[in-house]
Amino acid sequence: MKPQEFFATRPVFTLPEFREAVEPTREHPRASEHTLAYYSKQGRLRRIRRGVYAVVPMGSTPEQFPFDPFLVAGKLTEDAILGYHTALACYGKTYSATDHFQVITQQQFAPILLPGAVFSGVSFPRALMLADQTMVETTMVDRSGVPVRVTTYERTLVDSLDRPQYSPSWEELWRALALIEYVNPDAVIRYVHLLGNATTAAKVGFFLEHHREALMIDDTVFAQLEALRPRSPQYIMGQRHGGRLITRWNLVVPEQVANRGWEEF
């Protein structure tokens, strides 16, 4: 395959992918780098980070060009997973537009800035690393003909409640999660068990209780989550903001959340 043919099918790609696909670059150990450097100098490519390139469409410039931020995020590292608010945005389950894209990865990197977008790395939950289950509850989505890995609805739901700091705000998080139309309760329970965090189990139970009819959650699911709840009261936001104690989950939540007042926003 010729470089231009490759560029036509891979809007964002890695150096190993280029080496594998473009035959002439195998003639010399550094041939791929030289070829990509040439096209970068010509304004045909933009180097996103070491070993990751984006194709600049004809008529655009490396400084300003249209790109798929989800595809860029999914190619930043070999083990990249779109997660948290980025996963919700990828699924079209957010209320407001985002310019911050998170990649779950073990290969941490400095924030990357592109026009209108910031990309940052998020570490895997420690429990997943210890269990060697970092890829659990993930799936592949197609972005411009290129597969990108993203957390499933079930993992996205649990992860987002486990680490709400990766959402723009609690309001956005709550309302975005409410847009999810279906989750597999068994998968949710298994993943909650894997994380092993009592407060997260309570948050998940509290959220599902608010949306039990829409998500068709039965009492057996709540019984399992109740068994995992914390023994002493915990704050749903992780800080002492005050609010009402929900005894079923041992969670202290803001009054408007307890009263299901999000619809008022």
The single residue listed with the structure tokens 């670059």 is: 25
pLDDT at 22: 87
**Does residue 170 sit in the same domain as residue 200?**
yes
Dist. CA 205–CA 212, nearest whole Å: 10
**Does residue 50 sit in the same domain as residue 75?**
no
Average pLDDT value for residue range 159-173: 91
**Does residue 78 sit in the same domain as residue 194?**
yes
**Does residue 44 sit in the same domain as residue 141?**
no
**Does residue 120 sit in the same domain as residue 221?**
yes
**Does residue 18 sit in the same domain as residue 98?**
no
**Does residue 75 sit in the same domain as residue 125?**
yes
| Structural domains of the chain, count | 2
By C-alpha distance, which of 124, 16, 19, 13 is closest to 72? 13
- Of all residues in the chain, what percent carry a pLDDT higher than 70? 92
Which helix H or strand E contains 138, and what residues bound it? strand 138-143
**Does residue 87 sit in the same domain as residue 42?**
no
Secondary structure of residue 185 in the 3-state scheme: helix
Instruction: Determine the Cα angle at 54 with ends 51 and 59, to 5°.
Output: 150
**Does residue 32 sit in the same domain as residue 102?**
no
**Does residue 239 sit in the same domain as residue 210?**
yes
pLDDT at 256: 66
Examine residue 63 and state whether it is found in any structural domain, yes or no.
no
Q: Quick: pLDDT tens for 45-67.
A: 999 999 999 999 999 999 999 99
Residue 212 has pLDDT above 60, yes or no: yes
Examine residue 162 and state whether it is found in any structural domain, yes or no.
yes
Examine residue 221 and state whether it is found in any structural domain, yes or no.
yes
**Does residue 44 sit in the same domain as residue 125?**
no
Examine residue 62 and state whether it is found in any structural domain, yes or no.
no
Residue 27 has pLDDT above 80, yes or no: no
**Does residue 25 sit in the same domain as residue 153?**
no
Average pLDDT value for residue range 209-216: 94
- CA torsion sign, 12 to 17 to 20 to 26? positive
Examine residue 198 and state whether it is found in any structural domain, yes or no.
yes
Average pLDDT value for residue range 143-170: 94
Q: Quick: pLDDT tens for 122-138.
A: 999 999 999 999 999 99
pLDDT at 265: 37
Domain limits at 27? 3-55
